[in-house]
Each structure stands twice: as structure tokens, then as C-alpha cells.
Structure 1
């Protein structure tokens, strides 16, 4: 792979915002065509170290050259169209070249997560192994730094593991590359929280370029726009919105690695401040919260930051909290940040990415809705009404249709809460090798998102999470995964655990776990409580609420399945009484 390593005498010059190449908003037949076109201009990707120093400039022309070489290496190694090529999604040139190379080769790249700072080696190996089992790749590529863990996962699944640096040193012989079709699968996308029950979303070239064109149209993409991102490339918002979209819409981008943002979040705002054009940058709510908290000890933000050219401050990937957004405005108004830069949006991997986007400049708009109306329970007139602020997530992107349906499947009028359904060319092809799950959510071309919401004058308001999904700090956690982890501890059986999200005293959501307890000794109960807490933390990265409850307490449906929704309701109402632990 071509490298342009800086020397003491070299000053790296980032790729430009503007370009003489006429911009095309992802109007291509395939993503490979998009790479070919972007390579004709001067824009590209720019990678920065933890302090925000530019360390690597990677033009789209160089990306295309490296990707084609990778494609030839893949074909020479026996990779065929339709084969899955698993890639550890480290933010950098190696992943970018291999992802695009797999696309050129007609294979399906499968981005998989890097290890996090919690959970430990074995938890990461387990997570990789399960996703490898689901995607059934021919090969797994990884950075040398985590070779031991990735090789262990690959061996468990029986697929080949290759250090991508050594692969990049192989000969790239001249071989015939396949002719791609818009209806070919382009890649597989896994939910970041899906471990025991993974769903690989199969996205076609047609679906991808359609969504990239639609959300760029919705953002009113301008010539001088530039993207700044720290989002991980295994998550749909990071991969599609902040990597693939930049190529297909010919936008330059600046990147911090996700782990570097976690250590130095204000480096993200430094990059935005240095952009001489208009900035587009997305984050889940917690990213804005971290920055506002970190800056609280600094007296004069205007001396360090200039956020006046931050045109679109996107919000997505989790429920948007207006109080956190206001805290960010309060913290950075002195640096020129404008509240109307906030751009709420709604999307999911099953729709490739974007479903709705708030029109630029409209900012965050909320409606106050009675909590009883949100939960569908009758109003208790003896108590004062409690309201929740519901954020407007914008209008459907171009070529996407969004409706709200009731339990009977019929479309509901404005202001009526129901299931969010969407239809358009960017809806997924299927869940990989899971026809039952595909059939459950795709009905006559319409996608059942599983989320609850309502419409008002063409704007979508999201009021609830997809089914039982737990979303903490922008990361999805399937409750089955948490329950399964606890079940691995001695003495537990399937159905002994119910996991869901609850709101902590500070307003943030945390995972809660109710566990059937058959231990009577008070000291042993405390030990069990701590053991469960540590196990769940290894999965979620957060401390959680652990409640030990009497056996046969957790409710079940008429078919005998655990009812998490009812368990949560009974717990919050006090009808499930946990054991009191000894001090």
C-alpha cells in the first residue's frame, strides 16, 4: 500500500474542501462507480493522532489505487464474488482500502468491532466468534496489534485470519475483476450490540447509493462542506454516514479514532475549529454531553474554539435528550456555536442509514407529551400529569416514505402513536441467511422498524426504542445478550433473568437486570449481586442496576416467553419486590 509518511521537513497539507470536479450526489449505479469518480478529484480522507495532529493524507485517487490492488490480491487469494470478507473496523487507510477492495472484487465486506477498554480478551473473542459464525467469511483481516485475539476468534470459527499489513505486501497480479450490478450485495452490516443473536443486514449497491444520495440531498450538501468524525466504522452512522457517504458525494473528511475521542473528546472540537469551510459532524447525544462536561472547568472557550462554521451538528444513534443539547449550547455559545446547527435525524441499518433528517437550520424542536399517552396507560387523575419532551426527528429523506401504523396494521393520522414503518429503495435486501427474521420485518416492501412514534405535518417524532433494545451511550445492547451472559454463571437457567433500560437519578439511562435468586444466605447474596454486576459491565461497559428477586417472579407471555416489557412495568410500579441486600 502506498504510504506518504511525514518527515521533519514535511508539512502535510490536508485535502481541500472545494474541487474543480463537478459534484455528483451519489448518482451512481454501484459504489465502485462512486470510488472511480471521486478519484478524479483532489478530495480525500485525513487521519489525525490523539491530539488532533494530521498524520496521514489519503486522497480518493490513492484510495482507489490501493483498493484495486487489494481487489487483485483478494482474487488471487481465491476470493470469489459473494464471499464474505471480515474486516476489523479500525479507522485508517488499511480498512478503507480493504473494504473498497472487497467491493471491487465482488465480495461482501463485513466490518467488525475493535476491542473496547472493558470486557476483557475472552469477551471480545466470544463476540467476534459469534459474528464470524453468522457471516461465515472466507477470511478475517485485522491489525497486527490485536493478532492474538482475532486469530483465536478466526480459529474457533474455522476461517483464515490474516494481518492486513502482510497481505498488503503481497503481489497484486493483473486479474479480471467482476462486473458489478446495482442489485448485487455491497456489504453486510452488523449491529454493534448484537452478539449472541446477530443480524447481518445485507445492503445492495442500489440501496447504498440511494441512501447516500437521499441524506446528502436532505442535508443540502454544499461545495465547501467538510466532514469531521470520530464515529466507529463498524456502526452504520460511522461507516455509511461518515465514510462511504464522503466518497460517493466527494466530500473531504477528518478523522479521530474512536478510542482517541474517548480519551480527549475536545480534540474533536479542535478539528472542527480548524476547518476553514463549513463543518458537518455527527454524534450520539453522549458525545455532546462529554464535551460539555469536559469544558466546564475552562473559563473562556472562545480562546480555544471557533465553532461558528459548524453548519450541521447531527444527532443520531440514540434517543436525543434536549437537556443535554441545551447544555452543549450553554457551554459553547461563546465559541460561536449556534443552536440551530443541531440536526436531529432517525435511521437504522435496515434502511441502510437515514430515514428522516431535520431540514438544515431548523434545530431541535420538541413537543411535551403526557407519559401515560406514551405508554398507552389510562391517566391517573389523582396525580399531577407528567410530561416528556419528544424530539422532532425531521422529514423523510428523498425517495423514502414513512408512515405510522396501529396494531391492526392500518395507517394512523397525525399525533397518534404507533409503529414506524418505512419504504424506499434503500431498505435492506434481507438479514443474511435469516429468512424468518427477514419475513418478520419486511412486508410488501415496507420495513417494520420496531420503533414507536408519531407524525405531525410530515415530521417524525420517535417516542420509544425498537422493541426491547437497550441503547446506552449510542450503543445497542440486545437484552438477550445480557441475559445470556448472566445465564453462564453457575446456578442460572434460561428465563431467570430479565434485562431492560431504566432512567437513573441523573436522567441518563442504565441497564437494569432482574435475576431470580435461589440463594438464602445474606452474605452469598451480596457476592452474587456483585458477580452479576461485573458480568453485565463486561458486556455493556457500564455499571448497572442489579436486583435479586424471588423465583418465579418474572412474568411470561401466554406462550411461555419472558415478557421484558411487563417485567419492567411491574418493577417500576413496585409490584416486583427485590430482596434487600445486607449492608
Structure 2
């Protein structure tokens, strides 16, 4: 589509070719408060050059720069300025008072060692105080909306293998891992996205996803710019307050491609009222991408049925699979292709087997996530490292131009994840840690090898949830958190009471406190919370919690809790008469 060798050069060429075209259309946080803020390619380019000149004066080329914005326009400006200056952008969520988020930000700062931080004027003092609290008070924080005068910007030499940004999506709260994404990776994935989604030059795309999320950054901000089109941007907070605003934005601003994780489609299907539905026209929506967390066919069906009266065509719903280690998109089912599902025995999937369910047996429907968008995809037996044929479940391995360089300053973890070698000696594969199977060249994701919990498009590590829960009471000892299968994965917490604890304590209140803490800290609703006797949580000889064993005991109904709260959909997974 273009001959640019880095993303910054591409944006500059767009500004030269179509300076007055709308690059960003930023919608107001509250309806009726203001008109959308329009940023042309000329204004975006001029603002990025001005800030990039300031960054270059301070020696930011080749250094990490933390981007901590809630303002969508300022984020775009800061991110592009980093690319213009040859700095490594490090997008992170702005602090919001939640402890786990502050701990994660502190972990990212420790790992990335940024030269400075860029933030909104209103948020810069909070960012500065956070940095100081965690021993990083020497890192200055600039309010991007009041950029001081600086010298002229100089175009850096950016070969394709130059690092563009670090995407911190992996690792636990205190040990985050930054995925190293180069300009070559970024441009290769843009081409892959365009092939799968059939996006056209000048198209309007957009949505509400946060920009520290790879799907929001690459799919909803950078891809429209790569196309020379327009990005229509709603804030995540506005979507959560009133989900119909996402759909109204698609209608009013003629957005052809937008997407979100599964939970957002479910939320819209449940919360958009009949009155709101009557005012919608979604006939112009050409690609509705579902990705970022497991795709539930039932959610897509419910969404399609709910919004059919608004002109939504069911064939525009597009399940995709991706991850930050592959920049973003790995596979997808292009619009107009036949949508397929696999119906599998739910119990067999727990043991990584794929078979048709027996009559009356629990079953799971698996979404067709399409064909690989870039490079090669293998299903590999993780024990033997032998590629598996269609119909067998194994780990998803990838190789291609979109696969990132590795993890920032973590050579051992990079070698383990990014240099998977088959039994035949073919190396250089990304081991995703996800399980799946292929049928007729189409990918179906079935689960995960690792303990990571994916909720609402976010990666959560069980040890973080366990730590949060254990802090609630001095009566709490060992704990484990895991997800249980189903069309929507649910979090289960098993928490031991310490030896000598009084069991006449208000256990119901403690159980409720666990659920409330997970909601407050992580926006996660627990599917089950069990308080158990000491020694219930199994550990290895080295002291590691055996989460897989605890999940199995829970699903078999073999745990004997002192008290429990279990949601009805989780109770249905358990043997009749157990844990009631």
C-alpha cells in the first residue's frame, strides 16, 4: 500500500498528501457537553513534530518514554511524537486509585526505566506523586498539553528493525514483561489486518478500547492512520456508562470497522433498551470484530438477534485471535466467509481432547477464528514438540513478520517464548501458551496452557488476585484463584482459613468481602468463593500452588468448604448435589 519504512514516515506522508483530512474525531465524554474534537492530519503532524523536537532536545532518542494519558487526542500526539523522535513509546493506563494498577505501573517503570513521562495536564501531578512514592521521583513528568518551546525537530534514521514501542501486557503485576514491537512488526501487522478485514484507504474505523490495550492502540488508532483514514474515538468510561454510545458513534460517524472483546457485545445485547434500539441504524457496519478474550458464539448470536432490527447483518460479526507478542492480529474470518462452529465435549476439553459430546453431556461451542493472517501457524504437542494434524488439540505456535522481537531485557524468557523449536529442528516460533485446534485450515481456540486469566480483554495473573484476597483478613492463609470452563470463563477463589481461626466468625461476610475486593480492584465478578480448612490448597514440593489440581477438585465436587458463594452458572458445572 505504501513504500514507507517506519510508521512515523507514513504519518508524515499522509499529512503531506491529505493535510485537511480528518485524522481523529474525538467524541466528548458526556453527551450534549461539547462537539466532537476534530484533528486533521496537518494538526496531528505539526503537534507531533513540536513535541518530538522537545523530546530530542532532552536526549529521548533510543530511550523509553512513558505515556500516561486519559485524553485520547493527547495520547495520539504523544505516541506519534515518540515515533517521530526515535524514542520508545511505553503506553500505560493512567492511575485511578486502585492498588493493583498502581503496583503494575510501578513495576513497568522499574522494568522499562523511562527517561521521562508524558501525561495530561490534569493528571501529571498524580503521575509525579506515584513515581515519587515508588522511588522514581527523578523521572520528570511533562504535561503534553503545555509543551514548552523547543528547538527544531530532526527526522531520525529509523530502519525497519528499530523498536517502535513496548507493549506491557504480559507478566504479573509486579513482574510485568514488555513486548518489543519494531516498525517492521507494526507495518507487517497493519498489512495483515487490512487483508483480513478488507479495510480500504480512507476508511473510518474506531471504537472505545483503551490505548494501552493492543487492540485499541493498533486496531483503532494506528490502523486508520495507516489507511489514511479517520479514527472515531469514544472513551472507555463513556462506553461503560452508556454502552449504546458505541453503536450510536458507529451510526452517526459512518464507522465501517469497529470491534471489542466478547464482554462488550454481551453488555450491549443486555443493556441497550428497546427505545435506544429503535433509534439505531447499523446497516453501514461492515466488520464487527470480536477478539481480545475468548469469543463466545452464543454472545455473537445474541448480539446479531438483538440488533437485527437496526439493520445489523449477522455476517459482519468477525471472530479473531491475536496477542501482543504477535503485535496484534494472528487470524480472523473475513467478512462474507462462512461462519463455522465446533461443538465439543466440555469435560474432554479440560484434558485437551477434542470429541463430540455424548447426549446430555456438557458441551462447549468453539468460535471459528479464521485463517492465519500473516506467516505460519502450527498446532504443536507441547510435550513432544511435534506438529499435530487437524482435529488434534495442542499449543498454538506462530512464525511470521508480525511476531515481535521478544520481551524487553528478558533474554531467558524471550528464548523460551520466541524461539520454539519443533522436534524436527525448525526454530523461531512464538509459543503462545494458548491451546487450539485447526479444521480445514481454520483456527479454534480451546484454552490455555498457562495460568493466566483473561477477563474483559485483560490479562490477569492468579497470583495477583490471590494476593489481593489474602490481604483482606488476618484469618486468611493460602489461597488459589483459577478459571473454570464454560462459554464464559468464571473466576473461582479457594481461600484457606488459618489454623486456630474461629469458625464462628461471620464467614458469609468474609466471603462477600472477597467478591467485593475482586470487583473493586479488577472489575471481576467471582463465579465462586470458597472458604476452606488449612491444608486444602494443594502445593508442589517446592511450595507452588497446584492450580490445575485445585480446579479439578472443584469441578469434581471434592472440596469441602466451611462456607461458599457459588453463582448458578458455575453450580451447573458441578456434579449434582455437590457444594450446595
Q: Normalising by structure 1, what TM-score?
A: 0.88
Aligned to 1:243, the other structure's residue is in SS state: helix
Q: Does 1:411 align with 2:384?
A: no
2:431 is aligned to 448
Aligned to 2:387, the other structure's residue is in SS state: coil
Q: Does 1:322 align with 2:297?
A: yes
C-alpha distance in 1 between matches for 2:79 and 2:412: 29
Aligned to 1:445, the other structure's residue is in SS state: coil
C-alpha distance in 2 between matches for 1:335 and 1:381: 36
Root-mean-square deviation (CA, aligned residues, Å) is 2.6
Aligned pairs, how many? 547
Q: Does 1:395 align with 2:374?
A: no
2:53 is aligned to 72
Aligned to 2:13, the other structure's residue is in SS state: helix
C-alpha distance in 2 between matches for 1:157 and 1:393: 44
Q: Cα 1:191–1:575, aligned 2, differ >3 Å: closer, same or farther? A: same
1:360 is aligned to 335
C-alpha distance in 1 between matches for 2:235 and 2:475: 39
2:517 is aligned to 535
Say whether the 8 Å CA contact 1:341–1:363 is kept in structure 2.
no
1:238 is aligned to 216
Q: Does 1:51 align with 2:31?
A: yes
**Residue number among 58, 77, 84 corresponding to 2:64 in the alignment:** 84
2:87 is aligned to 107
> After superposition, what is the alpha-carbon deviation per residue over 1:127-154, rounded to whole angstroms, capped at 9, x for unaligned?
3212211221111222233344322221
Which range moves more in the overlay, 332-341 or 54-63?
54-63
1:344 is aligned to 319
1:36 is aligned to 12
C-alpha distance in 2 between matches for 1:520 and 1:83: 54
Say whether the 8 Å CA contact 1:130–1:195 is kept in structure 2.
yes
Which range moves more in the overlay, 533-542 or 571-580?
533-542
Q: Normalising by structure 2, what TM-score?
A: 0.88
1:133 is aligned to 110
- Highest RCO, 1 vs 2 (Cα 8 Å, sep ≥ 6): 1
Q: Cα 1:69–1:300, aligned 2, differ >3 Å: closer, same or farther? A: closer
C-alpha distance in 2 between matches for 1:380 and 1:561: 35
CA shift, 1:60, in A, is: 1.9
C-alpha distance in 2 between matches for 1:29 and 1:381: 50
CA shift, 1:524, in A, is: 4.9
1:571 is aligned to 554
Q: Cα 1:581–1:239, aligned 2, differ >3 Å: closer, same or farther? A: closer
C-alpha distance in 2 between matches for 1:91 and 1:454: 40
Q: Does 1:502 align with 2:479?
A: no
1:152 is aligned to 129
Aligned to 1:361, the other structure's residue is in SS state: coil
**Residue number among 439, 443, 454 corresponding to 1:460 in the alignment:** 443
Q: Does 1:481 align with 2:479?
A: no
1:180 is aligned to 158
Q: Cα 1:492–1:480, aligned 2, differ >3 Å: closer, same or farther? A: farther
C-alpha distance in 1 between matches for 2:150 and 2:365: 56
Say whether the 8 Å CA contact 2:380–2:386 is kept in structure 1.
yes
Say whether the 8 Å CA contact 2:78–2:144 is kept in structure 1.
no
2:226 is aligned to 248
1:61 is aligned to 42
Which range moves more in the overlay, 327-336 or 514-523?
514-523
Q: Cα 1:255–1:206, aligned 2, differ >3 Å: closer, same or farther? A: same
C-alpha distance in 1 between matches for 2:169 and 2:153: 34
C-alpha distance in 2 between matches for 1:309 and 1:70: 37
**Residue number among 187, 190, 213 corresponding to 1:209 in the alignment:** 187
**Residue number among 273, 277, 281 corresponding to 2:258 in the alignment:** 281
Aligned to 2:563, the other structure's residue is in SS state: coil
CA shift, 1:566, in A, is: 1.5
Structure 2 residues without counterparts, runs of 5 or longer? 420-426, 566-579
C-alpha distance in 1 between matches for 2:182 and 2:475: 42
C-alpha distance in 2 between matches for 1:365 and 1:93: 39
1:7 is aligned to none
